[in-house]
Structure 1
Amino acid sequence: MSDRIQLSWLFFRTSGRVSRAAYFLGGLLVAIAQAFPLYRFTLVPEGTAESETWALLFMVAFLGSLWSNVALAIKRLHDLGKPGMMAFVLFVPVVSIVAFLVLCLFPGDPRPNRYGSRTNAPA
């Protein structure tokens, strides 16, 4: 599978499984992509055309990263043998922190499960 297809699958598809490391590193990349336009927005004077541009770029990054975080969480839950619908617990304040830690720390199923034959690959 080409790198472009692999990245598209990792961040935008919900089939398959991902490991703890792929989940954490993918989430970190998404957070950086979200933080950069926000950081740039804070550096420019308020109300200028440049601030409006950075605000728009932040909104685009935020909306794109929202789906990417859900897709990563669904695949991580699949690796644990759990249904992807549980990913929506990440939107519950306080519970989301515990859920994130569980997804980062608990090992996945080493054997094939109903969501895929191996980790870090589409089903």
Structure 2
Amino acid sequence: MPETKLFSAAGRINRSFFIVQYALTLLAYGITRALIDFSASLAVSIPLLLIFVAVGFSMVCTSIKRLHDLNHSGFLYLLMFIPIVNLLLLIYLAAKPSNNWKNEYGLNPLLPPANCPTCGRQAFQPPGRYTCSDCGQRFELDSNFTATAYQS
């Protein structure tokens, strides 16, 4: 599974990670909601309410990262506030495969990134010819994600 930050909307996550993270977040959301409903004390309700908000924010961030994986803006998440459309968007996020290669939101989480053979910078997908922006080294990336320096 890719490494991801729970409270950040930056980056991408694949659909299997989205489904697992969304399900766990939904479970935590439901448990917290039930505890809030059954708590009689304000001293118990306030911390639970903070947890409830944090879990909800995590759910939003997870959905935005999945939208990024499909090369969509996070603003598309606003459709989640429209009944029926929210269910269709959730199905879309859970069913659509990741976009291949790198997009404007980062590298494909299912594919290994390639390293520059000189400086080790990690950020190159798909196979092809690149010039490293850190060291200027020119190299070719094959379909096995092996980088080989070349001269033109």
* Fold in common (TM above 0.5): yes
TM norm structure 2: 0.62
Consecutive unaligned residues in structure 2, runs of 5 or more = 111-122, 124-152
Partner of 1:14: 9
Consecutive unaligned residues in structure 1, runs of 5 or more = 1-5
Bigger Rg, structure 1 or 2:
2
Q: Of Structure 1 and Structure 2, which has the larger fraction of its residues in strand?
A: 2
Q: Of Structure 1 and Structure 2, which has the larger fraction of its residues in helix?
A: 1
Q: How many residues align?
A: 109
Q: In structure 1, which of residues 19, 27, 33 is the aligned counterpart of residue 22 of structure 2?
A: 27
Pairing 1:1-123 to 2, within 5 Å after superposition: 6=3, 9=5, 11-41=6-36, 48-49=40-41, 52=42, 55-119=45-109
Distance in 2, matches of 1:25 and 1:33, equals: 12
Amino acid at match of 2:46: L
TM norm structure 1: 0.74
| Residues 81 and 63 of structure 1: CA distance in aligned 2, closer, same or farther (over 3 Å) | same
Q: Report the RMSD for the aligned CA atoms in angstroms.
A: 2.2
What whole-Å deviation, never above 9, does each CA across 1:56-97 have from its counterpart, x for those lacking one?
344223211221121111110111111111112112222111
- How far is the alpha carbon of 1:40 from its aligned partner? 3.6
